[in-house]
């Protein structure tokens, strides 16, 4: 008798727990739980910790205390911080602009039918595949004040009288790091946009040919509007990566000369890790977040409207 009650109780428990599990929210939550935990540990925790640190005066080896907004206030009064902000915006705007124009142009060229296009497409991808640290070191040599191969060549053919100081002069250094970033980032645009171009139905261009469209009209009225959603996503990604760049500049200039190439990533690293001021470093890196958040917001708004 008692056994019967127990077994029916167990049966009821099993039935009700199965019901519970089969509810839409519950099952979905359980399936995403492992991913949620990973995200919490690796993204949310460091992010929140960074924000917290920015409100403290922590330095390496000593846990600090809460200091409110004082890190932010002192940054606002720092010339280097404002120079860095300018550098970051300059670096991002110029580099992304040229990556977009050149990458798109290359995508359109490589999308044509010609002999050996497979090989050329593979070669275009190279700057993207090579680890940034390695390509940055290669460029460090190319731009070296004594051993630069560009200088050597230009001097040899007589186009230069004195060598160019690529990384030692503020303007040259800024342009040099932007150039390397462009070189590295073009393939991302090219490959991404080429994939997009290939999804555009060829018969649209044929219909436009019959309608009497010139190549420019076809680009403006068909290619551009149809590639726009993809283009905006790719551009957003590029903005994020360029804005939050670090390794390329750190290897080439370490933010110099005279802080002319410091961007948020490098300045934050210099203050927090090299200088030991974790609180101040965290406050600098916190400035990266709102800009990226806004650019993602704009893109997703645009995509929603398009679709």
Partner 1 sequence: MAEVALHHVGKKYGDVQAVEDFTLTIQHGEFMVFVGPSGCGKTTTLRMIAGLEEITSGEILIDGRKVNHLPPKDRDIAMVFQNYALYPHMTVFDNMAFGLKLKKMPRDEIEQRVRQTAGMLGILDFLKRKPRELSGGQRQRVALGRAIVRTPKVYLFDEPLSNLDAKLRVQMRLELKKLHEKMNTTSIYVTHDQIEAMTMGDRIVVMKDGRIQQVGHPLEIYMHPRNRFVAGFIGSPTMNFIEGARIEKENGALFSVTKGMKLPIPKTHFEALAPYAGREIVLGVRPEDLSEGDDPNAPGAVKAYVEVVQPVGNQIYIDVKVGDRNLLAAISPQSAVKVKEEILLKARLENLHFFDPESEKALV
210 near partner 1, judged by CB under 8 A: yes
The closest of 83, 39, 13 to 284, measured between CA atoms, is 83
Handedness of CA 71, 74, 80, 84 (dihedral sign): positive
CA 283/CA 268 separation, integer angstroms:
8
Nearer to partner 1, 36 or 209 (CB): 209
Q: Which of 207, 274, 297, 298 binds partner 1 (CB under 8 A)?
A: 207
Nearer to partner 1, 12 or 220 (CB): 220
Helix (H) or strand (E) holding 106: helix 79-110
Q: Which of 102, 197, 208, 292 binds partner 1 (CB under 8 A)?
A: 208
Q: Are the beta carbons of 48 and 286 closer than 8 angstroms?
A: no
Write the CB contacts of 161 (distance below 8 Å, at least 6 apart in sequence).
155
Q: Which of 3, 146, 162, 203 binds partner 1 (CB under 8 A)?
A: 203
206 near partner 1, judged by CB under 8 A: yes
In Å, what is the CA distance from 256 to each residue of 91, 129, 136? 14, 27, 15
Nearer to partner 1, 34 or 212 (CB): 212
In this structure, what DSSP letter does residue 246 have? -
> Residue with structure tokens 């124009």?
101
Counting residues that bind partner 1 (by CB under 8 A) gives: 16
Q: Which of 217, 273, 274, 297 binds partner 1 (CB under 8 A)?
A: 217
Please, what is the minimum distance in Å from the beta carbon of residue 212 to partner 1?
4
212 near partner 1, judged by CB under 8 A: yes
The closest of 130, 242, 138, 239 to 181, measured between CA atoms, is 242
Q: 3-state DSSP call for residue 294?
A: helix
Please, what is the minimum distance in Å from the beta carbon of residue 215 to partner 1?
12
- Name which of residues 220 to 239 contact partner 1 (CB under 8 A): 221-222, 225-226
Backbone angles phi, psi at 59, to 5 degrees: -125, 160
Nearer to partner 1, 102 or 222 (CB): 222
Please, what is the minimum distance in Å from the beta carbon of residue 207 to partner 1?
4
Q: Which of 110, 175, 204, 296 binds partner 1 (CB under 8 A)?
A: 204
- Name which of residues 162 to 201 contact partner 1 (CB under 8 A): 201
> Residue with structure tokens 């806004």?
294
Instruction: Give the orientation angle of helix 132-142 with respect to helix 149-156, to 10 degrees.
Output: 30
273 near partner 1, judged by CB under 8 A: no
- Contacts with partner 1 by CB under 8 A lie at 201, 203-204, 206-213, 217, 221-222, 225-226
């Amino acid at each position: 008798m008692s056994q019967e009650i127990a077994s029916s109780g167990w049966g009821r428990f099993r039935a009700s727990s199965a019901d519970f599990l089969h509810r839409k929210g519950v099952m979905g939550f359980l399936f995403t739980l492992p991913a949620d935990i990973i995200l919490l540990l690796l993204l949310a925790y460091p992010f929140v910790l960074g924000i917290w640190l920015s409100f403290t005066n922590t330095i390496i080896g000593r846990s600090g205390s809460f200091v409110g907004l004082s890190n932010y206030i002192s940054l606002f009064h720092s010339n280097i911080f404002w120079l860095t902000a300018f550098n970051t915006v300059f670096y991002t705007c110029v580099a992304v602009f040229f990556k977009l124009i050149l990458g798109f142009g290359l995508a359109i060229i490589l999308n044509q039918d010609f002999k050996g296009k497979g090989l050329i497409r593979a070669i275009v991808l190279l700057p993207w595949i090579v680890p940034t640290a390695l390509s940055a070191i290669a460029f460090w040599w190319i731009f070296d004040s004594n051993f630069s191969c560009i200088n050597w060549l230009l001097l040899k053919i007589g186009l230069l009288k004195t060598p160019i100081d690529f990384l030692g002069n503020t303007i040259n250094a800024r342009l040099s790091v932007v150039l390397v970033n462009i070189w590295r980032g073009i393939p991302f645009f090219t490959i991404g946009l080429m994939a997009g171009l290939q999804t555009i139905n060829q018969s649209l261009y044929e219909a436009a040919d019959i309608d009497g469209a010139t190549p420019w009209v076809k680009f403006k009225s068909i290619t551009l509007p149809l590639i726009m959603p993809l283009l905006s996503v790719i551009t957003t990604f590029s903005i994020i990566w360029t804005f939050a760049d670090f390794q390329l500049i750190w290897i080439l200039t370490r933010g110099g000369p005279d802080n002319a190439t410091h961007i948020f990533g490098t300045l934050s690293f210099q203050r927090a890790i090299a200088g030991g001021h974790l609180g101040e470093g965290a406050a600098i890196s916190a400035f990266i977040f709102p800009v990226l958040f806004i650019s993602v917001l704009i893109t997703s708004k645009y995509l929603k409207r398009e679709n």
